Amino acid sequence: TNMCFASQKFLMESSLEFSSSLGSASSLLSRHRTFKVLMIGDSGVGKTCLTHRLCAGQFPCRAEATIGVDFRERTVEIDGEKIKLQLWDTAGQERFRKSMVQHYYRNVHAVLFIYDVTCPAPSTDSWWQPGQYNLYFSFLLRFLVGNKSDLRVPTRADHQVNQQTAISFAKSHGMMFFETSAKIPPNRLSKASQRAGQTPIQLHQIEDIVLTVAGKLKRHKSVNYSSVCNGSFKVTSKKIAEKESWSCC
Ligand SMILES: Nc1nc2c(ncn2[C@@H]2O[C@H](COP(=O)(O)OP(=O)(O)OP(=O)(O)O)[C@@H](O)[C@H]2O)c(=O)[nH]1
């Protein structure tokens, strides 16, 4: 993880930008919306690696503890519209989380709560603290992502987070659920768990996660044109409470 105290000048508002001159047909074709997505989770769960994988398609050869906040971007096209995801990789270590990360909660559109499937917490509620985060995030799109599925060992189920428990937890907190591996592209269903005669583990491809998050964001937001600056439209997002009931994919 690079040490990077991201500058406030970077797109703190959701924006609909027209990269070429206003009013021309080509500007309409090249428009895109930018959405800020926070990656949150305990230290070592793989936020940085997942951010790299989601944005660059690669697992980083070296990952160090994040200090402060770093971000990476990925643009995808959904139904003819370019959606830019700006993934903000926050520090998992408590000392950084408390002091700095909250500064970056502003103008967030979605949150990915990451946990390590090989590290069961004493209770599901301690993966993240709804009480603490609800204040900021209750109106946002929220996703629960189990990472490091490649490290699951069927014979050691008691040392891993039960997927059904995680799915129930996600549903009860209005989150969409994914389980994946930033390191090794997972098969959709864990063959190991099938062999062991257990409930098959559902696994999600990184690309599916990117497209689902972008698609949900595209449908979740409505925009208000608020100002025009520097030859580009600046559009402020109007946040709408999500009515849709989530289901696991
Ligand atoms: N096997 C496996 N290892 C992973 C995976 N994702 C991350 N790791 C490893 O887990 C360790 C921690 O990864 P990071 O991405 O730095 O974790 P982080 O959540 O960003 O940690 P902080 O910056 O301290 O908050 C590294 O050694 C990674 O190589 C994965 O999907 N599978």
Name the residue with the closest Cα to ligand 1, atom 16.
63
Supply the pLDDT for residue 201.
81
Least confident of 7-21, 57-71, 106-120, 171-185: 7-21
Inter-CA distances, 35 with 21, 74, 222, Å: 22, 10, 12
Q: Is 153 in the pocket of ligand 1 (CB under 6 A)?
A: no
Rounded mean pLDDT, 19-38:
64
Probe residue for ligand 1, chosen from 43, 48, 160, 181 as the CB with the greatest number of ligand atoms within 8 Å: 48
b/e sequence 107-141, b meaning 16+ C-beta within 10 Å: ebbbbbbbbbbbebeeebeebbebeebeeebeebb
Supply the pLDDT for residue 240.
35
Predicted confidence band of residue 58 (pLDDT cuts 50, 70, 90): confident
Rounded mean pLDDT, 122-128:
50
Instruction: Please name the residues in contact with 135: beta carbons below 8 A apart, sequence gap of 6 or more.
Output: none
Question: Cα(178)–Cα(112) distance, rounded to whole angstroms?
Answer: 10
Query: 133 CA to middle of ligand 1, Å?
Result: 23
Name the residue with the closest Cα to ligand 1, atom 14.
46
| pLDDT for residue 53 is more than 70 | yes
Name the residue with the closest Cα to ligand 1, atom 32.
148
Q: Is 148 in the pocket of ligand 1 (CB under 6 A)?
A: yes
Name the residue with the closest Cα to ligand 1, atom 12.
44
Supply the pLDDT for residue 148.
94
How does pLDDT run across 155-172, given as a tens digit for each residue?
A: 777 788 889 988 998 898
Q: Is 65 in the pocket of ligand 1 (CB under 6 A)?
A: yes
| pLDDT for residue 208 is more than 90 | yes
- Beta-bridged to residue 51, according to DSSP, are none
Q: Is 150 in the pocket of ligand 1 (CB under 6 A)?
A: yes
The ligand 1 atom nearest the CA atom of 182: 31
Least confident of 39-43, 61-65, 173-177: 61-65
The ligand 1 atom nearest the CA atom of 63: 16
Question: Cα(107)–Cα(41) distance, rounded to whole angstroms?
Answer: 19
Question: Cα(237)–Cα(223) distance, rounded to whole angstroms?
Answer: 5
Probe residue for ligand 1, chosen from 2, 42, 47, 49 as the CB with the greatest number of ligand atoms within 8 Å: 49
Listed residue (146, 141, 155, 198) closest to 41, CA to CA? 146
Q: Residue 208, exposed/middle/buried by CB under 10 A (0-12, 13-18, 19+)?
A: middle
Rounded mean pLDDT, 1-8:
41
Listed residue (41, 18, 3) closest to 223, CA to CA? 18
Name the residue with the closest Cα to ligand 1, atom 13.
46
Q: Residue 102, exposed/middle/buried by CB under 10 A (0-12, 13-18, 19+)?
A: exposed
What is the full DSSP assignment across 81-94? EEEEEEEEEE--SH
Q: Considering only residues 161 and 21, tell me which one the structure prediction assigns the higher pLDDT.
A: 161
Name the residue with the closest Cα to ligand 1, atom 25.
92
Query: 32 CA to middle of ligand 1, Å?
Result: 31
Kindly report the backbone phi and psi dihedral angles of residue 189, in degrees, each rounded to the nearest multiple of 5, phi listed first: -120, 135
- Beta-bridged to residue 77, according to DSSP, are 82
Q: How far is C-alpha 156 from the geometric centre of its chain's CA atoms?
A: 28
